[in-house]
Amino acid sequence: MDKQNKSDQEWLKILTPEQYKVLRERGTDPPFSNKYNLNHDKGKYFCAGCGNYLFDSQQKYDSGSGWPSFTQPCEPGAVEFVDDFSYGMQRIEVVCAKCEGHLGHLFNDGPEPARSRYCINSTSLNFQSS
């Protein structure tokens, strides 16, 4: 996959302030009141920064966490992982493989068999219904 490298000034021109805060500054949506937490429509989720296809609604489930949660990405290589040691804890950050925008975090408390919960910020996503 070709990486999409842009300067901060370029990102500021194409992203909303909220998208910039989440995707480029690693911000977080408020729980339970974000755009896609309760979305149950069928479709695809794309990176709000670059349009990369990330998640399918078939892998979305209600984790009760307050953020959209998925059991896996749409395909291997759609996302990448970064060790995150912020806030005095160790987590696995999930980023878009194309633009390296912050999407959320991966936790091991999801449903069986993989137990993966991709906890993703709505602001980092665009949804297209099918």
Residue 17 CA to residue 21 CA, distance in Å, equals 6
* Cβ–Cβ under 8 Å, residues 55 and 70: yes
Secondary structure of residue 38 in the 3-state scheme = coil
* DSSP for residue 46: E
Residue 96 designated active-site: no
Q: Which of 74, 96, 99, 119 is catalytic?
A: 119
The structure's pTM equals 0.95
CATH class of the 8-129 domain in this structure? mainly beta
Look up residue 80 and give its two tokens: 């990448």
pLDDT digits (tens, 9 = 90+) for 1-15: 788 889 999 999 999
pLDDT digits (tens, 9 = 90+) for 37-48: 999 999 999 999
Cα 50–Cα 52–Cα 58 angle in degrees, nearest 5: 140
Q: Show the low-confidence residues of the chain (pLDDT under 70).
A: none
Q: Where are the domains of the chain?
A: 8-129
